[in-house]
Structure 1
Amino acid sequence: MNVFAVEGLPEIRPGDDIAALIEQQVDIEPDDVVCVASTIVSKAERRQADHADFPAGERAKQIAANIGEIAGEKKDPRFAQAVLEESEELLLEAPMMLAVTRFGHITVNAGIDRSNVPDAELLLLPEDPTASAKRIHNELDVPVVVTDTSGRPFRHGQRGVALGWAGLPAARDWRGTLDRDGREMDVTVQAVVDELAAASNLITGEGAGGTPVAVVRDWEFGDFDGSDALFREEEDDLIRPALKEWSNARN
């Protein structure tokens, strides 16, 4: 496959039509997959905010104080309040806020960004990234993945992940197929939207490049059953209960 960045996009403003701006810069082909950074989706959807929009409650003040004590520097309790309001729950309150977003993604600080936000102090994640992907998909008529970067347990660094998608399943289901030795595969489900997000992130970058959209060309989903079960339900998750138990014992 070929992955390339869409050059020439302007700074995205509230209300901008992202699909139309993409079409002005590149001729989209029928089998393309368009990967769009959540930062520009959030900007277009008016998800910018300031610390002053989140007056800190007692819980936020306590969380900020605890993290600040661990880090050895003062933390703004208004930021903690923003994370609380953007979260369904916190799995950890210290040494970091590990949040479950309202659409099921688990990430530090509910994914709130403080870089590349020229007109505000904070950039919140899209409220419903899959709905956002569907809107862009309906205009471009090709699969769309809304991406973000996220850290990984047990590893240094961040990598691209999918927050929302439309026009393709989230995963390829290999179960029931045979490996090279004729053994039937019974557990493998490949999270292709995460892999496409990671591939696009290699091209779009992280800093001041100004290329928040990548096009994946000549890639095929193939003859597989599809699945949209990307975010684990709590009852199927082994890690979430362990984190809660550890956090409760620590507190």
Structure 2
Amino acid sequence: MLGGMDEVEVVVAHSERATLRVGDMFLKVDADQARTGVEVEAMALAPVPTPEVLWREPPVLAIAAVPGKALGRLGEPSAASPAAWAAAGAAVRKLHEAPLPPWPGRGSGRALDKMEAELDHECELLVANGVLPADLVARNRRVAEAALRPRPPVFMHGDLQLTHVFVDGDEVTGIIDWSEAGRGDALFDLATLTLGHEERLDEVLAGYGTDVDLDVIHAWWSLRSLLGVRWLVEHGFDPFAPGCEVDVLKARM
């Protein structure tokens, strides 16, 4: 299946999964086949552009590359136009208005009481291990409280990082990485998309086309960052880099 391919690019690799690019194809290797199953089914149901599934031979899923470029990267200025960010917001709204998928969410869709317990435990570890200052953690834990309230679920992507949204000019050409899709809070998707790019939130919301509770967006920024810092460090990423998760937490001060 890989005949003629002479270059392999490691897109991301850690202990849970890896993604490789081979020509115009992505190979996603994941030991959790339930997660892969969610991704395949979500892409089939989502009313937005998604990658074509080429083949699946567990633990590998092969998908075609989507045209265009990622909307941006965390910690770097985005070169995408305001219209492209608005188009991303419109695509997210279309997803959120679609019928709910038949499975629960894996991201913000999991039980809020479990998420709250996980957040409190993580905050304790961040302070006890000297990863972050106590006042920074405490302030963001208070901000995060607004996210821990039940809201009507929508069909959410669940991991809508800006690197997962591809655009060509002012149009969305594809949304990738659906393994966390399910039922959950619409504002979790919007917060994930704009994490570290607060200056683009108004453009996204212009495309989304409806009023949202900004306090909840801010709460998800804090919550996602608090939960992510230690995991990122342990898996070889740098949440302390300029514009990344720790700067997001500092902005709430």
Which structure has greater strand proportion?
Answer: 1
Same fold (TM over 0.5): no
Structure with the greater alpha carbon radius of gyration: 1
Name the one with the larger helix percent: 2
TM-score of the pair, normalised by structure 1: 0.28
